[in-house]
Structure formats: structure tokens, C-alpha cells
Structure 1
């Protein structure tokens, strides 16, 4: 019986979580947004299967509690082991403090978080070690804090689920995951929308009262610390339940199959739904956004992209000239805003080579990124598809055998490769590109002698330059044309690169240094490429993946989506400016037009040099989907919301008209319904085609 009592921290918290979840379901059942009636069987299913799901999910969440409790012991403070342990903790603290730890390479707040965590752990261990008379008291307050933290998180989750239901009428989905990405915007919205201080004040007061009773009922664990044999028994019981939960929870999720959607939502466990949303990263367009009748949506799409087959984006592209099978190198530059370049008004001279190359290229001066993350840029230039709601296709499970720029090149006999200085496993790039027929050259393919500098993101861009030249030289010897897509990495936090290359030290860790070093590496690439026999028969496409920042005063601040893009091929592409509005999804179809390719296309992207092209740009976050056209930005969002902003140029002095990027965005007094429908048609049809798996090659 005494051993059972020592399980009190686990079963008391579980009971509290189950009761909280029951009350939450009851509240949501009668919430005004739950506009549905439930049969007796529906109600029974909601509460019985929901009850079982709650117990199993919380048993997984108790993993952290088990980890904390299992290491509570007096033996580890005995001589000499206690002093050895304490010495190791001090050494780890000093290692992080030195600024040379692996955490420092990640940049941001991670080194500080690591330092604080290890510092607290070292301090507390020292107290336990050197002040044994206070050990029991300190242990009690630490135990109380852990139990209080669990109670707070349980209550906080319930409050969050309530407000999320209040907004969207569902349990957590990808929007909740997205909130973790846009922390500043979300916190600002919460602060303005809800009485935060009273809510959290009440929450902490209630949590404190509940914690008192929880601690009183469960403190036997620290008063009579389990023996080694009892801890083994406890661990066997916990891991048995852990395994049962891992197996059972997905099975229970399958039972969320009622025709009444609210029944499924109320039955579901919020934490597990959050996990699924995080893993699947999809947001159902047809559930959360405005829609049009299917025929109308595709008819509107056909008005913008002519000669489409019924209910599809498929069309025949036929040139009036012979195909030109030049080699193609596509360079997507990490986090490269238009305003880094001199022509857009930058006076820091951080992109001297690209500034020069732009004057020798077909330069697209009014060019917009599809999104604000690398995977969106890769999606745009590879799939030439609007940025659909939720996570990028690159990171979805259904991301293979798509119709891609690579598949078009392969149909013409090209060798197709993706080159990346980091580990392509990151952001699911390896799975996506290999699943679509690309050979991959990444950090894993480098020999030790090929690496002169690397950080957490991979080898420096110069090392990738050397690898790329070697790779292309090998390809050129086959006699077959090649298409190589190189994604740079150095212009990314922590912005470290080899010293002595540019006039900004590599250990300065500045954004300007990252930009300038990337420019330096690209210059080196072209300097080496010009000496190769394949250079004169190669077209180079240079485009950013996204801007360096996406924060702004509106959902889609358009200056944060303006990026540079150019096509360079001396003797083949005449230098000039193209100043019409266009998207990242258009760059590769435009290149295919320049090469006079004949092919069956499924791309939403278009050849902007074709006289039938209607200027527009498609830009988005994970949930706000926008169309930029006729000096109007139309945004469709979850909860079937629509916003429109009129754009008024806010000119920057000393910058030519083609390179002005700043606009005031003012809500339209009178809605442009034609643009609203056109926006819906783009995103609805793209989502529909992906959902029906009709974007396959």
C-alpha cells in the first residue's frame, strides 16, 4: 500500500487533468458557437472516448514528471560522487558561458536559456550538497514548484482551448501551431483582445489553491523517497502505460468519424490535436476560407491563365521557335530582401557583385516572394504553385511525384540536382527533392578536406561554390544538359563565415556581414564559372527565397515580400528591366518561355513575357492568403474573412520609379468584389488540385 501512495503525484495530477477536460468539454458543448444538436449516443461518445483519450494523452505528458521524480535521491550527494557531479556541472556552465558552445552557433536566445538552466541546476545541486540540513526544505519547495507548474499548464491549456474554440469553433489545428511562429503578433493581438491581467491573475490564484491540495496529497513521495527497487517498479508501470498510450491514442483518433463535426471536435483531445497539427501542418482551405462554386472558381482561373483543361490548371505550352537546351543554374539566396541592393536605395554597399550583375541581366524589378520562409521559396520556384494554407507542400506528407520544374527539365533530357550547403534533412528538403527526381548534393556528400568553414547551418557558401563547380564540371563531361538548383546558407543567423574575406569580420555576426559574404561567394562562383567551357551555354537564374524580415503593421506588409530576381546569360539574354508585377511562381515558366520549351504545364506560374499575361502577385503567410493587383491587396483568412487595402506609393528619395518598394496600405472603403473572387479562385483551385492529387507529374 505504501508503494501505491508513492504514485500519488501521477494519479492526482491525472485526476485533476481529467476533471478539467470534462468541465471544458461541458462548457464547449453549450458554447454559442457550437451550433449543433447531439444525440444521446453522440454525447456518450464525446465524454466516454474523450475521457479515455485524456488519460492516455496525459500519461505521455507525465514523462517530464517521471524524469524529475526518478532522479530525486540523497545518495548522489555522498562523497566523492557528489563533488564529481558538482564539478561537471560547473564545467558545463563555464563551457556555455565561454561563448564557444554549440548553443552559441544557433544564436538567438538559446545560449542564454542554456546558461540559465545549467546555472540553476548547478546552484541547486550546490545547495543540496553543501547545506544538507536544508535539503528536505529545499526539496519540498522544488517539488511544490513542479506540481504548481503542472497545475498551471493544465489550467492554461484549458483556457487556451476555450479561447481557440471561441475564435474558430474547433480544437487546436495548424493555426495554433502557426501562433508559435508569429509570437509577437499573437501576443499583441491577445493583449489588445482580452483582459489579460484579470484572466491570468485569476488563473494563478486558482492554480495556487489547487496546487496546495495536490501537494498535500502527493508529498509522501519526497517525504519517503522510493528505494531503487521501488523506482524500478514505478518506471516499469509508467513505461507500460506510456507504450499503451502510444499505441492506443491514434486508434482512438480514428473513432472521430461522426457525421456531426462538433462531435468529433469535442471528443478529441486538444493536446493530441496540437501534436497532429504540428506534424501534418495542413489547414483545410474548404473549412476555413471563403469559397466559390467549383465551376465558377475554375472559370475565373481560366480568365487569368488561358486555355486550361476543365477543372484543372493543365494547359499546352507551345512555342513558335525551336527549343534551346541550354544548361540552367538556379541560385536561390537565403533571406535576401530587395532593399539590400543599391538600386532599391541601399547605401551600405553590401551587395556590390549582385548590383553589378543586375545591370547585365534581365532584371525583374517588381518581383514578390510567395512567403516568408525558405520552404515557401523552394515551393514557389519548384512547383510554381500559389502558397496554399497551412505548411508548404515541401513539408507535407504528400509531397512526392509532383509536377515540378525539375520534371520539365528531365522530360527534355536534363540532369537535375539540388545543391545545399547544409543537411538537406532540414525542413524536409531531402524528402521533397529526392521524392521529385532530384539528385541531392548536400553537406553529407562533402569530404573533410572540402570543408574550410561551417556552422550549425552547414558549410560556408564558398565551400558550396567549390563543390558546385566540381559537380557541374563532372556533369558537363556527360554531354547532357544540366539543371542545378543551389540554395545558399550563409546569410542566416548566426551570420558566421570565414574571416578575411570581406571588410566585415566573420565573428561580428551581423546581418550586413551575412549579406556581403553571400555576395562575395556568388562572385567567386561566377569568377570560377566563367573559366569553364560550359559557361557560354548556361543560363543563370538568381532569386531570393524570401525577405530578411516579414514583420509589419498589416497581415501582409508588401515591402517585406519584395525580393530581387534576375536572369543572366551573356550573348543570349539581353540586359533590360521588366517592371510589371509578378510572383516568385512565375520565374521558371518565364525561363521556359525564353528557352522556347514545348510542354504540358500544370503550373499556376506564367511566362510574364507572354502578351497574355495579366500582372499580379500572390503572397501569403501560413494563414493569410493575398493577391496583389491593380494597386489593391486582397487578403483572405480563416473564419472566411476578407480584407482589402488600397496601396499608395510612399516614394523613397533618390530611388528610380521601377525600384520603389514602400506603400501605405489603407483599408478600402468600397470592396472590389472582382478581386475578392479572383483571389478566392487562385487559392481555392490550387487547394482543390492538391487535395485531389492532380498536381502529379
Structure 2
């Protein structure tokens, strides 16, 4: 293949990729989730810099086709190289098919793809080695197939980006990385949520037509091959272009500086964003965020939370009343936004059972989630600390033996359990909760007769609650109090559930249906719990893990973090509407206060009923760290950026130019000290400073 023909292939692939990117941006701008408040400079960056971004990425992704083309030759089939290569293929295939490989850790579909790919390459080489007359036609066929894969994947990726944007209002981020790793759940979710066969059929047909248009006269490419010298020189040029593209992508990323987050996201390239998210699962606070002297940070935190130690935050909590060893059942509810509830003004009657429980218990109406993922919500109610940049601690290494709510319960003699309707390996929940002393009851614990309905995420919430009640009955026999933490799954796409339970059919696969079914399951759970001996000595805590949507025009759309929480225990917790500004990390310390627990706390979370409670909420994305107090929100971002917003009565934000220095230092102190304690292993119960 001559170099000009290779260049012609690149131009076709690159041009198509840029064209699809241009169409995608145009569509994303007009989606309902996108807030189109752009000026001329925003539009210029979205389209002009967006095209440059796509061109750079097209250079990088062309590497696979480039490698295939430059390695086309007849010399590798000559003895002894042909036999050596066949031997290598045989060894590799034996490893893939008969041993546990590194690819098995990524779910069932990834090792299958690798096996298919290597098998095809091996068979291709053997055929060409044994039948030289077939080489030209075979190579042309393989070239067309690879070209088709590029076209198919470019179209498929654009549709994936469309669906991802429609769900989250951003380009690919850490969520997309998680979805790639947990392929079983995600592919199952897609199969159950969308008309996949129809979609793939259309994509396939379009890809075939475009491939035919581009490659119909390409058989002449395989009449001869470039010399070794030409291949080396052209490869050097290509390597330089790849390196230059990477640097240019990094430079253009710094131009994503619009006040409108949607403009920055539209300018970006989805694949490059995915690469960044994959590379930066955690962020070094000291390297990326605004700081104050560490001693001052600890002093501010000590003053705010009445912490005594300058190194390991600790607070001795002594209650004058006897401790109440009541059972505690904590239910974290998947994607339950506050605005689903009747109290918020919702007229759809989606949460009749939670609405009733809210009237009969302590109802938190001004509580904010720390993040927008399940693991962040679980972290908040388990560790009661501010969120740290990057992934939740639940998904990081060395996260065992942490000071947690479970640890406190175990110190008080409780049996501690975590319930999850799916497989708890998802999001590393099994590693985290086992490492912190919890017994895990997940889908592996269910017998077939205990499952009436399940989708890719797990058994339905009804089945999970029934399993929990069985377990609590067993716990009761041991005469030990128990703490059961239940994580629901049904209010999650594909939003399928047993038919006949609610007035929204499961076939609608709607968010409203998912919300109402989970509420129904909670109602049935409480109704059944009333019949059991342990009910009268049990406190129920219901709280959302995060909101149903976190997309917004600003970095942290505060109204998308507003979640409900209820502490319910008839005869023990009096009905009250709690309007105090509360963070998700304050919920369990507030419960401990109601139980009159005395303990040495390492929590940042506080009992909101204490006279010295300082109302504030900590909210975050993977990179942006928010500190909400009064009617002001401080947002800390990478590159040591600090922004401040005024918060109106509807939780809408207006950027301000003057930074409240006192509030800024409080925000920095909370996040800086948290990150320091994590980095130095000082949140552990068996802590040893690094």
C-alpha cells in the first residue's frame, strides 16, 4: 500500500468522525436538558474548537487501522518467522481459553471480545500462511471489515453520547468509566431500557452503506506495499502527529472556561473526556485545589465542629441520659429526589407511603446529598465525612477499618449487616462493607424461591425487604440489637418491576413508575414489619442516596442535590418537620443523639439538635466541591479555582464576583482536612500515619 493511499484512508475516517461530531453537537444543543444561554464566543468555541478537538482525536483513534496497514507485508510468512508467529498465537489462545486472565476482572463481555479478536487474528494468519493466493482478496476483505468497524463504532459512540447526555447533561465522565467496567449490569440495563435490536439494525445498515461508499474502489490498495523505509518514515510522522494532537487537546481543554457548563461540555470531545475520567479516578487535593496552611485548616475545623485534636479530629460525645439500644434499620433509596414528594408540591402522588411516614416521623425538608452517585451517598451515611475529589472512598484501595457508623454500632454490641438486591461486587461495595465489619446479604444470598422478580440491577425491592425481614427475625433470636443497612435498586433504569403493584405499568419503563414502585415496596415493608416482635424496639431511617438527576447549567446545581430523609419510630420519635439546613453526613450522628449514644467521634457530621450545631451542607461532583451556608455557595474546582454563588429561595444560583473570605476558608478547611486525613490514613480505627 502506497503512502498516499494510506493517507486517503485517514482522510475518509477523520472527515466522517468530524462530520458526526458536528451533527452530534448540533443535536445536543437542542435537547431539553441543555440550558441554551450561550453568547457568540460560546458558539464559536463549541463548533470551532470542537472541530479541532474531534480532528485531534481522529488522529489518535486512527492508530489501530494505521498499525494494521503498515504491518501488511509478505515477509512475515517466510520461514522461520511464519512458524514462530503461529506458535505465539497458539500459546496466547491457550492462555485465553484455559486460564483465568487479567481480562476476566472486567466482566463477561470483555474476555469474550478479546478471545474472539485473537482467534480471528490467529485464523487469518494461518489461512494466509497456508494459501498465498488468497492473500490479496483476504487483506481487502479484512480492510473493509476494519473500515466498517470504525464507521459502526463512530456512529454507535455518537448515539451513546446522545443517550448519556440526555441522562446526565455532560460528556462522558467517571460514570461512563464505571459503566465500561461493570459490563454485565450496564449491557443488561441497555437491553432492558431501549429497543436495542431496532437501533443496532439501523446502525448496522447505515454503517454498511457508508463503508461501501468509501471502500468500493479500494481493492487497488493491495496490489503492492510500501517499502520498509517508507513505512518507518511515515510512522515517525504519524507518531509526531499523535503527540502533537495530545498536547493540542490538553491546551484546548484550558479554553473550556465559559461560565456556562453546558458550553464547556459541548466544546469537549466525549472520547477525550472518557480518557481523562479513566486516568484520574482520584484527584490530589494538595495539587489541584485552593489551600490554606494545614494547621489553620485544622484549627478552623476544630472551631466549627468542636474537635479537640489538631491532627486526628476527634470529639468526645457524652450524653447524660442512658443509651437506648434500639435496633436501627437504615434504608438508602436509589435516586429519590425531594421533589418527588407531595410536600415539595408534586401532584402525581408518586410517594404516598413516604408522604405518610414523613407526617408520622422526623421529616428533614432541607437536607442535601453529598454527591450524585450511589457510592457517594453510601459513603456519606457510613463515614459521615465531606466528599473528597475523585471517586468515593468506597471505590478506592485501602478503605477497610475506617471509623464508620457500623464501627460505632459494633462497639455497642450490635450485629451489623448490609443488604443489597444486586451483586455487591458492583461499585466494590462488597470489599468496602466487608472490610468495615458488615455482614453482606446480596443477591448471592437469595434462594430461587425468594425471587419473584428481578432485572439486571437485582431483585425487586419487595423481595429485598422480605429477605431483610427474615434476617431480622433471625437476629431477634440472638438477643442482640441489630443495625441493618438496606440499599434499594428498583428506582433505576430500566425501571421495571412486578406488574399489578401500582397504577403505572412496568412496561412503561418510566422514572415515575420506578419511584412509585419503590415507595410501594417501602409501604409494604413497614406494614409487614409492624407484625414482628422487633418492630416496637426499632428505629427506621429512610434517606435518598442522591437525586434522580444532577445535570444543570452551573457546576453544582444545588436544587439537584435536595433529597428527603425521615427518621420513623412510632412512640419514640415525635412527628416534626425539620427545616434546619442539613448535610447527608449529619443524618446518622443526629440519630445517635436520639439514641443518647456516648462515643468518641471522628465524624464531620453533627447532631443537628445540638445547641452549637453550625448549619451547612457539603455537595460535590467528581471534581467540584461545594460548601453551602446561609444563602451562599462556595465551589472549589481544580486549578485552585474558587467561585461563589448567591442562592435564592428556589435554590437557583447567581455568580458573584466578591468572595466571602470567611466562608471560603471554612470550605477549604473542610475539604483540605478531609483529604489530608484520607491521605495520611488517619480515618482508620487502627490508624498509623503514613
Same-fold call, TM > 0.5?
Answer: yes
Q: Which residue of 2 aligns with 1:164?
A: 250
Q: Which residue of 1 aligns with 2:569?
A: 569
Per-residue deviation, residues 134-187 of structure 1 (Å, max 9, x unmatched): 8947999xxxxxxx9xx9999578535434256579xxxxxxxxx9xxxxx877
Q: CA RMSD in A?
A: 4.2
Q: Which residue of 2 aligns with 1:589?
A: 589
Q: Which residue of 2 aligns with 1:371?
A: 371
The answer to whether structure 1 residue 382 and structure 2 residue 382 are counterparts is yes
Per-residue deviation, residues 529-551 of structure 1 (Å, max 9, x unmatched): 00000000000000000000011
The answer to whether structure 1 residue 624 and structure 2 residue 612 are counterparts is no
Q: Which residue of 2 aligns with 1:419?
A: 419
> What is the deviation of 1:124?
10
Q: Matches of residues 211-290 of structure 1 in structure 2 within 5 Å?
A: 278=278, 281-290=281-290
Q: Which residue of 1 aligns with 2:337?
A: 337
SS in 1 for 2:672: helix
Q: Which residue of 1 aligns with 2:656?
A: 668
* Greater alpha carbon shift after TM alignment, 277-286 vs 439-448: 277-286
> What is the deviation of 1:279?
6.7
Q: 1:691 aligns with which of 673, 676, 679?
A: 679
Instruction: Give the whole-Å Cα distance in 2 for the aligned partners of 1:495 and 1:65.
Output: 48
1:274/1:188 Cα in 2 relative to 1: closer, same or farther (>3 Å)?
Answer: closer
> What is the deviation of 1:412?
0.5
Instruction: Give the whole-Å Cα distance in 1 for the aligned partners of 2:238 and 2:201.
Output: 25
Instruction: Give the whole-Å Cα distance in 1 for the aligned partners of 2:435 and 2:425.
Output: 13
> What is the deviation of 1:399?
1.5
Q: Matches of residues 533-552 of structure 1 in structure 2 within 5 Å?
A: 533-552=533-552
Instruction: Give the whole-Å Cα distance in 1 for the aligned partners of 2:541 and 2:497.
Output: 24
Note the residue ranges of structure 1 that are not aligned, 5 or more in a row: 14-54, 79-100, 141-147, 170-178, 180-184, 201-269, 650-661
Contact 1:337 1:562 in 2 (8 A): yes
The answer to whether structure 1 residue 351 and structure 2 residue 354 are counterparts is no
Contact 1:103 1:111 in 2 (8 A): no
Q: Which residue of 1 aligns with 2:454?
A: 454
SS in 2 for 1:365: strand
Instruction: Give the whole-Å Cα distance in 2 for the aligned partners of 1:684 and 1:122.
Output: 53
1:109/1:372 Cα in 2 relative to 1: closer, same or farther (>3 Å)?
Answer: farther
SS in 2 for 1:534: helix
What TM-score does the superposition give when structure 1 sets the normalisation length? 0.67
Per-residue deviation, residues 450-506 of structure 1 (Å, max 9, x unmatched): 111111111111111111111111111111110000000000011011111100001
> What is the deviation of 1:117?
5.8
> What is the deviation of 1:445?
1.2
Per-residue deviation, residues 603-629 of structure 1 (Å, max 9, x unmatched): 110111111100110101111101110
1:162/1:276 Cα in 2 relative to 1: closer, same or farther (>3 Å)?
Answer: closer
> What is the deviation of 1:507?
1.0
1:678/1:135 Cα in 2 relative to 1: closer, same or farther (>3 Å)?
Answer: closer
Contact 2:189 2:494 in 1 (8 A): no
Instruction: Give the whole-Å Cα distance in 1 for the aligned partners of 2:365 and 2:437.
Output: 32
Instruction: Give the whole-Å Cα distance in 2 for the aligned partners of 1:62 and 1:527.
Output: 64
SS in 2 for 1:564: strand
Q: Which residue of 2 aligns with 1:238?
A: none
SS in 1 for 2:354: helix
> What is the deviation of 1:64?
13
> What is the deviation of 1:578?
1.4
1:423/1:121 Cα in 2 relative to 1: closer, same or farther (>3 Å)?
Answer: farther
Instruction: Give the whole-Å Cα distance in 2 for the aligned partners of 1:396 and 1:554.
Output: 28
Note the residue ranges of structure 2 that are not aligned, 5 or more in a row: 11-59, 72-116, 128-133, 139-186, 224-233, 686-690
Instruction: Give the whole-Å Cα distance in 1 for the aligned partners of 2:220 and 2:583.
Output: 63
Instruction: Give the whole-Å Cα distance in 2 for the aligned partners of 1:322 and 1:549.
Output: 42
The answer to whether structure 1 residue 507 and structure 2 residue 582 are counterparts is no
Instruction: Give the whole-Å Cα distance in 2 for the aligned partners of 1:429 and 1:65.
Output: 45
The answer to whether structure 1 residue 579 and structure 2 residue 579 are counterparts is yes
The answer to whether structure 1 residue 189 and structure 2 residue 189 are counterparts is no
The answer to whether structure 1 residue 463 and structure 2 residue 463 are counterparts is yes
1:447/1:558 Cα in 2 relative to 1: closer, same or farther (>3 Å)?
Answer: same
* Greater alpha carbon shift after TM alignment, 464-473 vs 512-521: 464-473
What is the count of residue pairs matched by the alignment? Answer: 518
Per-residue deviation, residues 276-310 of structure 1 (Å, max 9, x unmatched): 96276110000011101011101110121003212
SS in 1 for 2:652: strand
Q: Matches of residues 28-427 of structure 1 in structure 2 within 5 Å?
A: 67=117, 70=121, 102=188, 104-107=190-193, 114-115=200-201, 136=219, 158-164=244-250, 188-189=263-264, 191=266, 278=278, 281-427=281-427
> What is the deviation of 1:115?
4.1
* Greater alpha carbon shift after TM alignment, 607-616 vs 103-112: 103-112
Instruction: Give the whole-Å Cα distance in 2 for the aligned partners of 1:583 and 1:277.
Output: 27
SS in 1 for 2:533: coil
What TM-score does the superposition give when structure 2 sets the normalisation length? 0.67
Contact 1:495 1:510 in 2 (8 A): yes
Q: Which residue of 1 aligns with 2:437?
A: 437
Q: Which residue of 2 aligns with 1:39?
A: none
Per-residue deviation, residues 189-213 of structure 1 (Å, max 9, x unmatched): 1656x9x9xxx9xxxxxxxxxxxxx
Instruction: Give the whole-Å Cα distance in 2 for the aligned partners of 1:388 and 1:191.
Output: 26
> What is the deviation of 1:679?
0.3
> What is the deviation of 1:65?
11
Instruction: Give the whole-Å Cα distance in 1 for the aligned partners of 2:314 and 2:669.
Output: 15
Contact 1:389 1:625 in 2 (8 A): yes
> What is the deviation of 1:554?
1.0
Contact 1:453 1:497 in 2 (8 A): yes
1:508/1:300 Cα in 2 relative to 1: closer, same or farther (>3 Å)?
Answer: same
1:314/1:446 Cα in 2 relative to 1: closer, same or farther (>3 Å)?
Answer: same
1:293/1:453 Cα in 2 relative to 1: closer, same or farther (>3 Å)?
Answer: same
SS in 1 for 2:501: coil
Q: 2:666 aligns with which of 659, 678, 685?
A: 678
SS in 1 for 2:555: coil
1:647/1:444 Cα in 2 relative to 1: closer, same or farther (>3 Å)?
Answer: same
Instruction: Give the whole-Å Cα distance in 1 for the aligned partners of 2:498 and 2:605.
Output: 38
> What is the deviation of 1:386?
0.3
Instruction: Give the whole-Å Cα distance in 1 for the aligned partners of 2:619 and 2:406.
Output: 23
1:498/1:292 Cα in 2 relative to 1: closer, same or farther (>3 Å)?
Answer: same
Contact 2:262 2:553 in 1 (8 A): no
1:684/1:135 Cα in 2 relative to 1: closer, same or farther (>3 Å)?
Answer: closer
Instruction: Give the whole-Å Cα distance in 2 for the aligned partners of 1:62 and 1:397.
Output: 36
Contact 2:261 2:554 in 1 (8 A): no
Contact 2:189 2:457 in 1 (8 A): no
